[in-house]
Amino acid sequence: MSQLKGFNNKIIAITRPLERAEAAAKIVEANGGVPLVVPTLELEAYPSESLMDLCYKAKNLDWLIFTSPASLESLFQYCEDFKEKLNPKCKVAVIGPRTGRVLNEYGLKTDLVPEDYTAEGLLEEFKEMNLQGIKIGVPRTFKARDVLPEGLKKMGATVFLAEAYKSTKPKDTSKVELLVDDLIKGNIDAITFTSPLTVTNLFEIAGDKRNQLIESLKEGDIIVAAIGPITQKPLDDLKITSITPAKYTVKDMLQELMEEMGQ
């Protein structure tokens, strides 16, 4: 990442789950910032009945779609021989390059990565194909939007949704509550969000300070960064201005933030 502009000791709040925050924190540190990792979202691997059913159906799948590293990790944790069970002709799509790298670590190759790293971007790619009678497995959190599975069904695919992990609020919200106070007091220079739940959970945890928090972020002294338009939407709904990169990755989001702060 470019060193021409840096964060100049600015405090950058990172709200993504703890196991996903390390890379972002390192980028902030490498560019002279102070990362403040306060997850507003926790991911919990979950051996649901639907996930075990997907494991059983692996031999019949034509496509497999992973929308996050968490879905991959949970599937292979609870179905260790999934790769061996998988139909050798099954193709695999991932929502973005990071998920693709994790997929490769499990010994599977990526057949499709959309240009637009969103569910809508994946659907655009599948529109070019004939999905009539095609069986597609989609392990994910059930809190995810229904855009992808519903869109695939409309194209004629049979979709096997599997709950691979749970997305929840942190069990201990004390650090998030402190973050809310710091945001209201203006002690934070920027805050980053990487999914809609990281946004909505923050405002729910804020409780009776929610309106104060919204007004503090509306003032513009704290720069708000979202990884993409889907994450940006709940901020837009609250009339909170945010920046988002052209390419929906953490690295690009932080680059955009750095350039914004350097103006």
CATH of domain 44-167: 3.40.50.10090
Share of the chain above pLDDT 70, in %: 98
Domains of the chain by residue range: 11-41+171-261, 44-167
Share of the chain above pLDDT 90, in %: 92
Structure tokens at 208: 């009776």
Average pLDDT, the chain: 94
CB 205 within 8 A of CB 79: no
What pLDDT digit, counting tens, does each position of 100-115 carry?
Answer: 999 999 999 999 999 9
Task: Give the sheet arrangement for strand 63-66, strand by strand.
Answer: 91-94, 63-66, 135-140, 158-163
pLDDT average, residue stretch 24-42: 96
Task: Give me the residue label for tokens 């695999």.
Answer: 92
Look up residue 209 and give its DSSP letter. G
d(CA 152, CA 94): 15
- At 263, the pLDDT band (50, 70, 90 cuts) reads low
Residues in the chain: 263
CB 166 within 8 A of CB 51: no
Task: Give me the residue label for tokens 């739940």.
Answer: 197
Residue 226 has pLDDT above 80, yes or no: yes
Nearest to 164 by CA among 47, 85, 76: 47
Look up residue 138 and give its DSSP letter. E
| Among the ranges given (2-16, 45-59, 96-110), the one the predictor scored with the smallest mean pLDDT | 2-16
Look up residue 205 and give its DSSP letter. H
What is the separation, in whole angstroms, between the first and last Cα of the chain? 18
pLDDT average, residue stretch 194-212: 97
Q: Do 44-167 and 11-41+171-261 have the same topology in CATH?
A: yes
CB 94 within 8 A of CB 68: no
Residue 16 has pLDDT above 80, yes or no: yes
pLDDT average, residue stretch 183-199: 97
CB-based contacts of 216, cutoff 8 Å, min separation 6: 183, 184, 186, 222
pLDDT at 4: 43
Nearest to 35 by CA among 15, 11, 6: 11
Q: Which whole-number Å values give the CA distances from 241 to 25, 70, 162, 260, in the listed order?
A: 23, 29, 35, 13
| 262 strand-pairing partners | none
What pLDDT digit, counting tens, does each position of 66-96 carry?
Answer: 999 999 999 999 999 999 999 999 999 999 9
d(CA 53, CA 75): 11
pLDDT at 208: 98
CB 225 within 8 A of CB 257: yes
Nearest to 222 by CA among 11, 31, 6, 29: 11
pLDDT average, residue stretch 150-158: 97
Q: CA 10: distance to chain centroid? A: 24
C-beta neighbour count of 143 within 10 angstroms: 14
CATH ID of 11-41+171-261, from 3.30.2350.10, 3.40.50.10090, 3.90.1530.30, 3.40.250.10: 3.40.50.10090
The model carries a pTM of 0.85
pLDDT average, residue stretch 116-125: 94
- At 200, the pLDDT band (50, 70, 90 cuts) reads very high
